[in-house]
Structure 1
Amino acid sequence: MRPDGAYAWFRLAIAILLSTLGGVGMWSVVVVLPAVQAEFGVDRAEASLPYTLAMVGFALGNYLVGRWVDRVGIILPVIGSALALSAGYALAAVAPTLLLFALAQGFLIGFGTAATFGPLLADVSHWFQRRRGIAIACAASGNYLAGALWPTIIKWGLAVGDWRSTYLTIALILIVTMVPLTLLLRARVHGGPLGADLSAGGVAKSPGTRDLGLSPAALQGLLVVAGLACCIAMSMPQVHIVAYCVDLGYGIAPGADMLALMMVGGVVSRLISGVIADRLGGLIALLIGSVGQGLALALYIPFDGLTSLYLVSLIFGLSQGGIIPSYAVIVREYLPAREAGQRIGFVIMATIFGMAIGGWMSGWIYDLTGSYAAAFLNGLAWNLVNAAVVIFLLLRDRNTRRVAMG
């Protein structure tokens, strides 16, 4: 089966649909949080526990499900994801206590959502060679598309019913759509997409094509540091932009619009970074995203007018969106393909923990200083760590190529 062929693009289209459907687990609890808080009669900190557990489940799931994909292919893990998501939403819909609701969010919804991100990116990467970067970027965009579509659907559900009936509806939608779509990912012929040995799920087992002169463990560790650092930086605007606008006296609505603008810019950024990765490599794409994100973070400090914040938020979205898919491209360029699921999942797990740590850290710095200026500077410092790691890897790449050329 030819790489970059018609079947590869067919699989990519299915992957985008699955990512958009399964991505509901990242956004639903945020939308229903006020209603859940009111029903269970808890404060905002307690009501935030389900989101925290969902993120923990999502982070761990990217790595653990990725390992499963490496062994059995994508079919069983994504069907398992659909079952877990559907069961999670059904259980959460009838949960009598906040604790049970939170556990359903973490162990079923968060974990189930993971299979439709990192592991799905790994599977897509095996079916492309020349267009691998843009393919991974398109698949990763499903997560942002979910953020654009599902909150609107859920808000409509809340308007005509309540959060429990909305959750039951989501459970039904996921089970009747994701399972049939996943079955379409069965390879139609024997043999690998890249002419390589296959596992049961059609995953190519060819090695990475490039060498940095580093052991796989060392490169994995550096990518984890880079992923953690970039997302600590990334979290400052994404998590706190609404609160920042409220502090400046602009209110909630402009902050929410800026967050939506970041997501739209993020989709564009992912597609552009995919094209760059195909032409110049994943490390160059990652460095461009890192530099752009650092520039945007720096611009937030002196420019706090309403129009300026909209513009800077757009710049931020156009920079940061392509960063995460670039890690998947780098893993496929330099690390063994047979371990792509777990290695991509592990780096993505680090980025999610970076978002969690960074969101808390920015709030902590704000409480200490009474301003977000220091929090933006903290994000910029972590962004420099990310850029330093990427530059180091680029220099290693150049040196190994020079040695190979004699």
Structure 2
Amino acid sequence: MSELTTTDPYVQDGTYAWFRLAISILLSTLGGAGMWAVVIVLPAVQADFGIDRAGASLPYTATMIGFAAGNYVLGRYVDRYGIVPPVIASALSLSAGFALAAIAPDIWMFTLAQGVLVGLGTAATFGPLIADISHWFLKRRGLAVGCAACGNYLAGVLWPSIIQRSLATSDWRETYLLIAVICLVTMVPLALMLRRPPPEAALSASPSQNTFGSQSTGLSPATLQILLVIAGLACCVAMSMPQVHIVAYCVDLGFGVAPGADMIALMTGAGVISRLVSGFVADKIGGVRTLLISSVLQCAALFLFIPFNGLASLYLVSLIFGLSQGGIVPNYAVIVREYLPAKEAGQRVGLVIMSTILGMALGGWLSGLIYDLTGSYEAAFLNGIAWNVLNMAIMVFILMRGRWAGSRVAA
């Protein structure tokens, strides 16, 4: 019986788990179009509708709000019914959303299509997929979660290039129609490959009693969840400044749209490396410590954007930023799975991911507002740094409480 168990391809960390991870990465990459497309077309949309920078940032904010809500709502749905129905619904929603946005007569219809259809459609291909794949791994859970989260950043590498090429020969509306077709014809067949339910052993796993190795958080599950939500919001307000506004920043500096799109591809491509490395590290030292390391590195990278605004230096700083911050968001999912019940993974991971996306939404809009008030992005970078410090403080607090709780138990 033990030999059959060890050779079963459908156990945790088995061959099917890795195949499923590959499909999840593909789906996340395709669905990630909903997050990145609006960033690339932001200057074109602003010119088309004749609005200011803050107004042009609203569709992105609406997309992130829909994305955030979808991660929590669909996460609860995945806990009950599995991943396939939400992903198929995601394909339909993305296709309809991009098509409607392409024919929008004004910024309000465009924003509505982005927030309701594109935002919700994108959601199923991030947090819910991460929660689903976490059930299929035990020894390599951190690495698997990091890999699944890479799809979101691979989208940031793939889609800006596709969109930029399309914009060179057509307008942003035709580009959106192209994306609508791609999402529909590729995502539905891939979703049907994920019909097998998770191993029963994964769903029946007991909570880990708030511990990782010999350490304890010293916090109740509810308190830990609240702290992770606040930390997720803070880190992503900081993260959003370069990711949302780098294209507009390059236009303001006279470099044009193309270098900004390249920088998004560069920072997200580097983010893929960061997520893989952080997943490997999280399997060794735990999610909290790994997240703190990534947060400190992100804060340092944000400082570099302020004095260095030449074209070559911006490329270099974008690379550093991507290598620094990519591992932050996946580690929230690792922390949830380390300390909270497996059967609630979908909704709990979804709740924390929701807070990170709301942080991106808030930060994207806030940076545009600060730009309109000050005429430059320097104050926006400083605002991001302040939020980053809050994230670091929460992680330090969790670690210190863990050490205090551990010392009490030892005494």
| 8 Å CA contact 2:158, 2:265 repeated in 1 | no
The correspondence of residues 111-130 of structure 1 with structure 2, limited to 5 A, is 111-130=120-139
Q: Distance in 1 between matches of 2:39 and 2:252?
A: 21
Q: Distance in 1 between matches of 2:220 and 2:343?
A: 16
| 8 Å CA contact 1:75, 1:182 repeated in 2 | yes
Counterpart position of 2:283: 278
The correspondence of residues 179-198 of structure 1 with structure 2, limited to 5 A, is 179-187=188-196, 192-193=198-199, 195-196=201-202
Counterpart position of 2:112: 103
SS at match of 2:11: coil
Consecutive unaligned residues in structure 1, runs of 5 or more: 197-203
Give 1:135 deviation, angstroms.
0.7
Aligned with residue 335 of structure 1, among 333, 340, 356: 340
Cα offsets for 1:157-184 (capped at 9, x unmatched): 4455554444344333322221221111
Specify whether residues 370 and 97 from structure 1 end up closer, same or farther in structure 2 by C-alpha distance, changes over 3 A only: closer
Counterpart position of 2:151: 142
Give 1:286 deviation, angstroms.
0.1
Cα offsets for 1:355-400 (capped at 9, x unmatched): 2222333444455555544433332222121111111112233344
Mean Cα displacement is larger for which, 160-169 or 392-401? 160-169
Specify whether residues 160 and 341 from structure 1 end up closer, same or farther in structure 2 by C-alpha distance, changes over 3 A only: same
Specify whether residues 252 and 168 from structure 1 end up closer, same or farther in structure 2 by C-alpha distance, changes over 3 A only: closer
SS at match of 1:14: helix
Give 1:258 deviation, angstroms.
3.3
Counterpart position of 1:226: 231
Aligned with residue 236 of structure 1, among 221, 233, 241: 241
How well do the aligned residues superpose, as a CA RMSD in angstroms? 2.7
Aligned with residue 51 of structure 1, among 60, 66, 69: 60
Q: Which amino acid aligns with 2:22?
A: A
Give 1:102 deviation, angstroms.
2.9
Q: Which amino acid aligns with 1:121?
A: I
Q: Distance in 2 between matches of 1:84 and 1:246?
A: 32
Specify whether residues 2 and 401 from structure 1 end up closer, same or farther in structure 2 by C-alpha distance, changes over 3 A only: farther
Give 1:187 deviation, angstroms.
1.5
| 8 Å CA contact 2:294, 2:327 repeated in 1 | yes
Q: Which amino acid aligns with 2:351?
A: F
| 8 Å CA contact 1:62, 1:118 repeated in 2 | yes
Mean Cα displacement is larger for which, 282-291 or 67-76? 67-76
How many pairs were matched up?
A: 395
Counterpart position of 2:208: 209
Specify whether residues 158 and 305 from structure 1 end up closer, same or farther in structure 2 by C-alpha distance, changes over 3 A only: closer
1:68 paired with 2:74, answer: no
Counterpart position of 1:77: 86
Q: Which amino acid aligns with 2:51?
A: D
1:174 paired with 2:198, answer: no
Cα offsets for 1:30-65 (capped at 9, x unmatched): 3445555666x4424555443332222111111111
TM-score by length of 2: 0.86
Counterpart position of 2:326: 321
Specify whether residues 14 and 327 from structure 1 end up closer, same or farther in structure 2 by C-alpha distance, changes over 3 A only: same
Specify whether residues 205 and 399 from structure 1 end up closer, same or farther in structure 2 by C-alpha distance, changes over 3 A only: farther
Cα offsets for 1:208-232 (capped at 9, x unmatched): 3241232222111100111111112
1:377 paired with 2:382, answer: yes
Q: Which amino acid aligns with 1:193?
A: P
Aligned with residue 295 of structure 2, among 290, 293, 306: 290
TM-score by length of 1: 0.87
Mean Cα displacement is larger for which, 11-20 or 303-312? 303-312
Counterpart position of 2:28: 19
| 8 Å CA contact 2:60, 2:364 repeated in 1 | no
